[in-house]
Amino acid sequence: MFARLTTLLPALFLLLLSCPRSNAADPLENYCSYTRKATAAAKKNIELVLVSIETNAPTRGLAIAEYGAGDKERANGLAQCRRDVRLAECKTCLKEASARLSSRCRGKAEGWVWFEKCFMRYDTNFFVGTVDTSYGAYNNSDEFVTDDAAERQRFDTVLGSLIDKVRIQATSESRFGLGKAISKFSRNVTVYALAQCTRDLSGEACSECITYAFRYFPDVCAYKKRCRALYPSCYVGYDTKPFFDL
Protein backbone atom coordinates (compact mmCIF):
# COMPACT_ATOMS: atom_id res chain seq x y z
CA MET A 1 0.00 0.00 0.00
CA PHE A 2 2.99 2.29 -0.30
CA ALA A 3 4.09 4.36 -3.24
CA ARG A 4 7.00 6.59 -4.08
CA LEU A 5 4.90 9.70 -4.46
CA THR A 6 7.31 11.51 -6.73
CA THR A 7 6.83 8.88 -9.44
CA LEU A 8 3.14 8.00 -9.38
CA LEU A 9 0.38 9.88 -11.12
CA PRO A 10 -2.66 11.00 -9.10
CA ALA A 11 -4.93 8.53 -10.91
CA LEU A 12 -2.74 5.69 -9.75
CA PHE A 13 -2.90 6.90 -6.15
CA LEU A 14 -6.59 6.13 -6.10
CA LEU A 15 -6.05 2.66 -7.47
CA LEU A 16 -3.32 1.69 -5.02
CA LEU A 17 -4.00 3.56 -1.84
CA SER A 18 -7.72 3.45 -1.19
CA CYS A 19 -8.36 0.99 1.62
CA PRO A 20 -10.99 0.26 4.27
CA ARG A 21 -10.97 1.52 7.82
CA SER A 22 -8.79 -0.64 10.07
CA ASN A 23 -9.45 -1.81 13.60
CA ALA A 24 -8.13 0.35 16.43
CA ALA A 25 -5.42 -2.25 17.19
CA ASP A 26 -4.21 -2.32 13.59
CA PRO A 27 -1.58 0.10 12.29
CA LEU A 28 -2.64 2.88 9.97
CA GLU A 29 0.35 1.92 7.82
CA ASN A 30 3.74 0.27 8.13
CA TYR A 31 6.70 0.32 5.78
CA CYS A 32 9.82 -1.81 5.37
CA SER A 33 12.59 -0.96 2.92
CA TYR A 34 12.24 -2.94 -0.29
CA THR A 35 15.88 -2.88 -1.37
CA ARG A 36 18.06 -1.94 1.62
CA LYS A 37 19.24 -4.84 3.77
CA ALA A 38 20.91 -4.58 7.16
CA THR A 39 24.26 -6.19 7.88
CA ALA A 40 24.55 -8.77 10.66
CA ALA A 41 26.02 -6.14 12.99
CA ALA A 42 23.31 -3.62 12.12
CA LYS A 43 20.59 -6.22 12.77
CA LYS A 44 21.79 -6.62 16.35
CA ASN A 45 21.89 -2.86 16.84
CA ILE A 46 18.39 -2.49 15.38
CA GLU A 47 17.16 -4.95 18.00
CA LEU A 48 18.85 -2.87 20.73
CA VAL A 49 17.34 0.34 19.33
CA LEU A 50 13.81 -1.08 19.28
CA VAL A 51 14.07 -2.32 22.88
CA SER A 52 15.45 1.04 24.02
CA ILE A 53 12.85 3.27 22.40
CA GLU A 54 9.96 0.99 23.36
CA THR A 55 11.12 1.08 26.99
CA ASN A 56 11.94 4.77 27.27
CA ALA A 57 9.29 6.50 25.14
CA PRO A 58 6.25 6.03 27.45
CA THR A 59 7.66 8.09 30.34
CA ARG A 60 8.31 11.19 28.20
CA GLY A 61 6.22 10.43 25.15
CA LEU A 62 9.38 10.41 23.01
CA ALA A 63 12.59 8.40 22.81
CA ILE A 64 15.54 8.51 20.40
CA ALA A 65 18.34 5.94 20.41
CA GLU A 66 21.47 5.11 18.44
CA TYR A 67 23.69 2.02 18.62
CA GLY A 68 26.81 1.13 16.69
CA ALA A 69 29.37 3.13 14.73
CA GLY A 70 30.06 3.31 11.04
CA ASP A 71 27.79 2.81 8.06
CA LYS A 72 27.67 -0.99 8.37
CA GLU A 73 26.84 -1.16 12.07
CA ARG A 74 24.89 1.96 13.04
CA ALA A 75 21.16 1.89 13.81
CA ASN A 76 18.98 4.84 14.79
CA GLY A 77 15.47 4.79 16.17
CA LEU A 78 12.64 7.05 17.30
CA ALA A 79 9.40 6.26 19.10
CA GLN A 80 6.67 8.57 20.29
CA CYS A 81 3.11 8.56 21.52
CA ARG A 82 0.49 11.19 20.82
CA ARG A 83 0.59 13.74 23.62
CA ASP A 84 -3.06 13.14 24.55
CA VAL A 85 -2.59 9.36 25.01
CA ARG A 86 -2.55 7.79 28.48
CA LEU A 87 0.59 6.04 29.74
CA ALA A 88 -0.93 2.56 29.63
CA GLU A 89 -2.20 3.11 26.09
CA CYS A 90 1.21 4.42 25.05
CA LYS A 91 2.98 1.33 26.40
CA THR A 92 0.55 -1.03 24.69
CA CYS A 93 0.83 0.79 21.37
CA LEU A 94 4.63 0.90 21.40
CA LYS A 95 4.86 -2.77 22.34
CA GLU A 96 2.76 -3.63 19.29
CA ALA A 97 4.80 -1.25 17.10
CA SER A 98 8.10 -2.82 18.16
CA ALA A 99 6.78 -6.35 17.63
CA ARG A 100 5.46 -5.47 14.19
CA LEU A 101 8.73 -3.91 13.03
CA SER A 102 10.72 -6.83 14.43
CA SER A 103 8.63 -9.39 12.57
CA ARG A 104 7.61 -7.57 9.37
CA CYS A 105 10.89 -5.75 8.72
CA ARG A 106 13.36 -8.38 9.89
CA GLY A 107 16.66 -7.97 8.05
CA LYS A 108 15.63 -4.67 6.46
CA ALA A 109 17.70 -1.51 6.95
CA GLU A 110 14.66 0.73 7.43
CA GLY A 111 11.17 0.41 8.84
CA TRP A 112 8.42 2.56 10.32
CA VAL A 113 4.86 2.17 11.52
CA TRP A 114 2.07 4.63 12.33
CA PHE A 115 -0.68 3.65 14.74
CA GLU A 116 -3.44 6.06 15.71
CA LYS A 117 -1.78 6.61 19.09
CA CYS A 118 1.93 6.05 18.48
CA PHE A 119 4.74 5.98 15.91
CA MET A 120 7.99 4.03 15.72
CA ARG A 121 10.84 4.13 13.25
CA TYR A 122 14.35 2.76 12.80
CA ASP A 123 16.97 3.21 10.08
CA THR A 124 20.63 2.42 9.53
CA ASN A 125 20.96 5.94 8.08
CA PHE A 126 20.78 8.90 10.44
CA PHE A 127 17.41 10.66 10.09
CA VAL A 128 16.79 12.56 13.33
CA GLY A 129 15.81 16.19 12.77
CA THR A 130 15.37 15.80 9.01
CA VAL A 131 12.08 15.88 7.09
CA ASP A 132 11.49 12.65 5.18
CA THR A 133 8.73 12.57 2.56
CA SER A 134 10.39 10.03 0.26
CA TYR A 135 7.66 7.42 0.81
CA GLY A 136 4.09 7.88 1.91
CA ALA A 137 0.69 6.23 2.00
CA TYR A 138 -2.81 7.65 1.68
CA ASN A 139 -5.78 5.73 2.97
CA ASN A 140 -9.35 6.90 2.49
CA SER A 141 -12.99 5.85 2.58
CA ASP A 142 -15.09 4.95 -0.43
CA GLU A 143 -17.95 7.25 0.61
CA PHE A 144 -18.32 10.90 -0.37
CA VAL A 145 -19.34 13.69 1.98
CA THR A 146 -21.71 15.08 -0.65
CA ASP A 147 -22.55 14.70 -4.34
CA ASP A 148 -23.55 18.35 -4.77
CA ALA A 149 -20.95 20.35 -6.75
CA ALA A 150 -21.42 23.58 -4.81
CA GLU A 151 -21.25 21.76 -1.47
CA ARG A 152 -18.12 19.97 -2.57
CA GLN A 153 -16.46 23.30 -3.25
CA ARG A 154 -17.49 24.50 0.20
CA PHE A 155 -16.12 21.28 1.73
CA ASP A 156 -12.73 21.99 0.15
CA THR A 157 -12.75 25.41 1.81
CA VAL A 158 -13.75 24.02 5.21
CA LEU A 159 -11.14 21.26 5.04
CA GLY A 160 -8.38 23.60 3.88
CA SER A 161 -9.06 25.93 6.82
CA LEU A 162 -9.08 23.00 9.24
CA ILE A 163 -5.78 21.59 8.00
CA ASP A 164 -4.22 25.03 8.18
CA LYS A 165 -5.41 25.34 11.79
CA VAL A 166 -3.95 21.99 12.87
CA ARG A 167 -0.73 22.73 11.00
CA ILE A 168 -0.28 25.96 12.95
CA GLN A 169 -1.02 24.13 16.20
CA ALA A 170 1.40 21.30 15.42
CA THR A 171 4.24 23.70 14.67
CA SER A 172 3.80 25.50 17.99
CA GLU A 173 6.52 24.57 20.48
CA SER A 174 3.99 24.09 23.26
CA ARG A 175 1.94 21.54 21.28
CA PHE A 176 4.74 18.97 20.79
CA GLY A 177 3.98 18.43 17.11
CA LEU A 178 0.26 17.78 17.57
CA GLY A 179 -2.69 19.72 16.18
CA LYS A 180 -6.40 18.86 16.51
CA ALA A 181 -9.50 20.75 15.43
CA ILE A 182 -13.13 20.24 14.40
CA SER A 183 -15.51 22.17 12.16
CA LYS A 184 -19.21 21.89 11.47
CA PHE A 185 -19.72 21.35 7.74
CA SER A 186 -23.49 20.83 7.83
CA ARG A 187 -26.22 20.00 10.31
CA ASN A 188 -25.36 16.31 10.06
CA VAL A 189 -21.64 16.41 9.22
CA THR A 190 -18.77 17.46 11.48
CA VAL A 191 -15.21 17.25 10.23
CA TYR A 192 -12.43 16.22 12.62
CA ALA A 193 -8.84 16.95 11.59
CA LEU A 194 -5.51 15.99 13.12
CA ALA A 195 -1.87 16.61 12.24
CA GLN A 196 1.11 15.14 14.02
CA CYS A 197 4.84 15.42 13.37
CA THR A 198 7.68 13.41 14.81
CA ARG A 199 8.94 15.47 17.72
CA ASP A 200 12.54 15.61 16.54
CA LEU A 201 11.50 18.16 13.91
CA SER A 202 11.60 21.93 14.22
CA GLY A 203 8.38 23.88 13.78
CA GLU A 204 9.44 24.89 10.28
CA ALA A 205 10.25 21.30 9.31
CA CYS A 206 6.95 20.08 10.76
CA SER A 207 5.05 22.66 8.72
CA GLU A 208 6.93 21.58 5.59
CA CYS A 209 5.93 17.94 6.07
CA ILE A 210 2.24 18.67 6.77
CA THR A 211 2.03 21.00 3.77
CA TYR A 212 3.62 18.36 1.54
CA ALA A 213 1.23 15.64 2.76
CA PHE A 214 -1.86 17.80 2.27
CA ARG A 215 -0.94 18.78 -1.29
CA TYR A 216 -2.14 15.37 -2.56
CA PHE A 217 -5.50 15.44 -0.78
CA PRO A 218 -7.35 16.95 -3.80
CA ASP A 219 -6.25 13.99 -5.94
CA VAL A 220 -6.44 11.11 -3.45
CA CYS A 221 -9.09 12.20 -0.98
CA ALA A 222 -11.42 14.40 -3.03
CA TYR A 223 -14.67 14.88 -1.07
CA LYS A 224 -14.22 11.59 0.80
CA LYS A 225 -15.58 11.16 4.33
CA ARG A 226 -12.18 10.07 5.64
CA CYS A 227 -8.56 10.35 4.57
CA ARG A 228 -5.14 9.82 6.15
CA ALA A 229 -1.70 10.77 4.82
CA LEU A 230 1.20 8.94 6.46
CA TYR A 231 4.88 9.75 6.04
CA PRO A 232 8.00 8.95 8.07
CA SER A 233 7.97 12.49 9.47
CA CYS A 234 4.27 13.34 9.82
CA TYR A 235 0.69 12.15 9.77
CA VAL A 236 -2.24 14.27 8.54
CA GLY A 237 -5.83 13.12 8.51
CA TYR A 238 -9.48 13.98 8.77
CA ASP A 239 -12.71 12.09 9.35
CA THR A 240 -16.43 12.77 9.64
CA LYS A 241 -16.44 10.53 12.70
CA PRO A 242 -14.54 11.31 15.91
CA PHE A 243 -11.12 9.61 16.03
CA PHE A 244 -9.53 11.63 18.85
CA ASP A 245 -10.54 13.27 22.10
CA LEU A 246 -10.48 17.06 22.15
**pLDDT tens digits, 109-156:** 999 999 999 999 999 999 999 999 999 999 999 999 999 999 999 999
Same fold, 29-123 and 134-239: yes
CATH architecture of 29-123: 2-Layer Sandwich (3.30)
What are the start-end ranges of the H helices in the chain? 10-17, 40-60, 87-104, 149-170, 203-214, 217-220
Residue 234 — φ and ψ, nearest 5°? Answer: -160, 165
For residue 143, CA distances in Å to 54, 152, 179, 217 come to: 37, 13, 25, 15
* Core vs surface per residue 3-34: b (16+ CB within 10 A) or e: bebeeeeeeebeeebbeebeeeeebbbbbbbe
**pLDDT tens digits, 175-199:** 889 999 999 999 999 999 999 999 9
Residue 75 — φ and ψ, nearest 5°? Answer: -140, 135
**Residue 10 pLDDT > 50:** no
**Residue 4 pLDDT > 50:** no
CA distance 140 to 217: 10
**pLDDT tens digits, 29-51:** 999 998 999 999 999 999 999 99
Task: Grade residue 174 by pLDDT with cuts at 50, 70 and 90.
Answer: confident
**Residue 167 pLDDT > 50:** yes
Task: Find all residues with CB under 8 Å of 103, minimum gap 6, and list them.
Answer: none
CA distance 136 to 179: 20
Q: Domain boundaries in the chain?
A: 29-123, 134-239
CA distance 200 to 190: 32
What would the CATH number be for the domain defined by 134-239? 3.30.430.20
CA distance 195 to 204: 14
